[in-house]
Amino acid sequence: MSIRSLYHTARGLQGLAKAEYESTTTPSLRRRLWLWRRGFLSQSDAVYDLEESTYESYVNDYQRYVRTKRINGTWSVALSNKLLFHRVLQPFDDRRMAVYGMIRDGTFHGVDSSEGRRELTDGGATMSPPAKSAREPATDGDNAAQWVVSRLEDEEKLVLKWAHGGGGNNVFLCTHTDDGYRVNGDHYTAAELRSLVTGLDEYLVCEFVEQGSFAADRYPDTPNTLRIITMYDAVENEPFVAAAIHRIGTSDSEPLDNFTQGGLSAEVDLETGELGPGAKPPAGDGVEWHASHPDTGAPVEGVSVPGWERIRDQILEMADACSFVPYIGWDVIVTGSDGEFSVIEANSYPGLKSIQVHGPLLTDDRVRRFYERMDVC
């Protein structure tokens, strides 16, 4: 095993141990030992139907934390580095969110276009940021805090996300309001917002993608994403969709839609786009199932993703263009009523509890063959 593989194995085991330590599920010691010997965390016992006759049909937690991390090899960086992924999707410009620039060392660096160095307004007059040498101090045109505050006044909403990693961590949803600003729902003054931005490093400043009525009608206070997992079939030389869910935020998960934080996961029928009931992670006895949203009462089960066939086919087209990255978890916001969408992120080793809560992945022969070929199971 290479040094790189040893490093990633060690990191995966560290993540596995951390997840078990933080688990709120406390099965008996005998049951916990049964789970550990089969590669599962205690939390999985509350989410999956784990018995002697069923556990081998699930991708277990050891396989997910350690082995799926190896699937994309060195090219996993194409997904984990959000700026690089943005560049990889350049041929699909109408399907990616705009990235205005990066915050680094308190300075704003434009990314997508001259938007990154746009003119700032000052008392009705405009001032273009002057050219400067690397030794000159940053001006207002380059100052990250000034840029974000000014842009927020124009657009009202922005997303600040760390350029590395995933899982919904290190994401700030920023809104300009009548009484100041809100960041992830908390009130900020202009001074507090500037202080927050000044303290960020290697964060991308992105457009806030407005979701269409399909997603907003379920729960309007969070962005509600589709998670679509694609795998590349090396025998057929084509990608395929292994699973898809609609993640829906709740008052527990707000401001995000993450399943592990209390959001709903509704399975998407891969042929029709119809949703099943929404699963909510266990707070005690087990998974809660909701035909309607527990906060808004909006229907979940039986509702269909608008333009699902078009979304699925275009995601497969993107996955085919990225065939050198055979395993991708796509995060997609549905923006219209006829298959319009925007990809906001992709993951190299997506979490599987929100997927397998609806049933084990390895019962699908094509999925099992993929994982076997990649030495996951």
Count Cα atoms within 13 angstroms, Cβ side, for 83: 16
Mean pLDDT of 31-47: 94
Alpha-carbon span 24 to 42, nearest angstrom: 8
Asked if residue 141 has pLDDT above 50, the reply is no
Candidates 322, 148, 323, 327; CA nearest to 229 is 327
Q: Where are the beta strands (DSSP E) in 131-215?
A: 157-162, 171-177, 180-183, 186-188, 203-207
pLDDT for 15 equals 81
What tokens appear for 28 in the block? 């008996």
Three-class SS state of 5: helix
Candidates 372, 325, 373; CA nearest to 349 is 325
pLDDT for 251 equals 95
Count Cα atoms within 13 angstroms, Cβ side, for 184: 12
Q: Are 83 and 102 in contact (CB under 8 A)?
A: yes
End-to-end CA distance of the chain: 18
In this predicted structure, which of 15-19, 213-217, 226-230, 308-312 has the lowest mean pLDDT? 15-19
Asked if residue 314 has pLDDT above 50, the reply is yes
Confidence band, pLDDT 50/70/90 cuts, at residue 285: low
What tokens appear for 210 in the block? 């407005």
Three-class SS state of 30: helix
Check the CA dihedral 231-233-234-238 and report its sign.
negative
Confidence band, pLDDT 50/70/90 cuts, at residue 130: very low
Q: Assign domain 73-95+212-373 to its CATH architecture.
A: 2-Layer Sandwich (3.30)
Mean of per-residue pLDDT scores for the chain: 88
Confidence band, pLDDT 50/70/90 cuts, at residue 112: confident
Q: Where in the chain is the domain with CATH 3.30.470.20?
A: 73-95+212-373
pLDDT for 4 equals 65
Asked if residue 6 has pLDDT above 80, the reply is no
pLDDT for 170 equals 84
pLDDT for 113 equals 61
pLDDT for 167 equals 57
Asked if residue 308 has pLDDT above 90, the reply is yes
Proportion of the chain in helix, strand, coil states, percent, rounded to 5: 35, 25, 40
Q: Are 117 and 141 in contact (CB under 8 A)?
A: yes
For 72-97, how does the pLDDT look when each residue is reduced to its tens digit (9 = 90+)?
Answer: 999 999 999 999 999 999 999 999 99
pLDDT for 18 equals 84
pLDDT for 259 equals 93
- 153 vs 14, 100, 104, 175, 181, CA distance in Å? 42, 15, 21, 9, 10
Mean pLDDT of 59-76: 95
pTM of the model: 0.87
Asked if residue 107 has pLDDT above 70, the reply is yes
Mean pLDDT of 132-157: 70
Alpha-carbon span 279 to 248, nearest angstrom: 10
What tokens appear for 311 in the block? 């979304």
Candidates 320, 341, 316; CA nearest to 242 is 316
Residues 6+ away with beta carbon under 8 Å from 123: none
Asked if residue 138 has pLDDT above 70, the reply is no
In this predicted structure, which of 22-26, 86-90, 118-122, 366-370 has the lowest mean pLDDT? 118-122
Q: Return left, alpha or beta for 133; rule: phi > 0 is left, psi -120 to 50 is alpha, else beta.
A: beta
What tokens appear for 297 in the block? 């009462």
